[in-house]
Amino acid sequence: MAPNHLRALPTLSRFDAASAAVVSFLQQSIPMSMWSVTRFDGENQVFLKTSEGNTLNIHDGQARPWEQTMCKLMIDGDIPSVVPDTALEPTIARSDDPDWKPLRTYVGIPILQPDGAIFGTVCGYDTQPHSSDLYDRVPLLELLSSLLSAVLDSDHARMDAERRAATAEIEAESDPLTGLLNRRGWDRWLTPENERWLEFGDPAAVVVADLDGLKEVNDRYGHAAGDELIRRTAGVLTDWAGPTDIVARLGGDEFGILLVGSGHKTTADKVAELSGSLEHEAISMSVGFASFASTGSSVAAWNAADSVMYRVKRLSGGGRRRSSGRRASDRPGGTVVSGSR
């Protein structure tokens, strides 16, 4: 008879709890240096759940570039799902990746989303080689993976319903000038999104954008003109943001955007797309951004993005010239997006 935590798996409605049950069961039934449930976020492999006391010193929430993982080789078909001895697998044996050298056994099974896209993997690593009997465990691993896929689908639906409910609740926390979330609403929204990231590893990032020259507009044309500039800016940012993204007015001329579920596009690429819209509206902004994965939490990403934005603003003279801060990854970065007619 299966252990209690495995028998309960079909009744678990939370993906993180189901992942923990699977990892615990596998560590007991097929002991290895580490078992884990991971997420492919488009750029990294995020270790969502790892077996307790694993000897590889990998912990929940750690990430590694996807291109440097055995799971990518498995997904691409370059290595099989089960490698009892990596020294006998030419693709792995030829690698010069130092992190792979101690690993003598690899097991990886994809976790699929309802549309067939890759969500992540159930994977195991051992510093000792295993016998060919490990192949006999593939049907069990595939069953566990399919169960996790079912729980994932259900839990995503629950989280989406909670997000819609939260959206309705925070209508009162809106900025009267722009209709966007105000600072209070922004603060409250960060917590559930951080929990969502910790559970699913969904790609998420914070963008902080500050208007350049608002004081000059107020001084020269009056506050009505300044208010109109703020409203136009809010419109541009809202149109640019995706349907699941959150846009807020954090202060007089500062805006925050929470990018969630951005797929395979890096934050830097997403920010680069903002340039044309702002230029069309003759709006100049100093922009900083940071991903949850690169900083460790939603609040840390916000602080990092805010810090980068102010640094960019100082270096660029408040937007009067461009900064060369754009980066081709989701590490904290920034730029000045200048608009002129």
What domains are defined for the chain? Answer: 4-156 (3.30.450.40), 173-337 (3.30.70.270)
Tell me the one-letter amino acid at 267: T
Phi/psi class of residue 110: alpha, beta or left (left: φ > 0; alpha: ψ in -120 to 50)?
beta
**What was the pLDDT predicted at 334?**
54
Model's pTM, two decimal places? 0.61
**What was the pLDDT predicted at 169?**
67
How distant, in Å, are the alpha carbons of 21, 50, 52, 60, 63 from that of 57? 20, 10, 10, 10, 13
pLDDT tens-digit profile, the chain (341 residues): 445 545 555 556 789 999 999 999 999 999 999 999 999 999 999 999 999 989 999 999 999 999 999 999 999 999 999 999 999 999 999 998 998 999 999 999 999 998 899 999 999 999 999 999 999 999 999 999 999 999 998 888 887 888 777 767 666 788 989 999 999 889 888 888 898 888 888 889 999 999 998 999 999 999 999 999 999 999 999 999 988 899 999 989 999 999 987 554 677 888 888 878 888 888 999 999 999 988 989 999 999 999 999 998 888 775 443 333 333 344 555 555 544 33
**What was the pLDDT predicted at 242?**
86
**Residues 81-108, buried b or exposed e (16+ Cβ, 10 A)?**
bbbbbbeebeebeebeeeebeebbbbbb
Q: Is 37 exposed, middle or buried (0-12, 13-18, 19+ CB in 10 A)?
A: buried
Query: Is-contact 91 78, C-beta < 8 A?
Result: yes
**What was the pLDDT predicted at 51?**
95
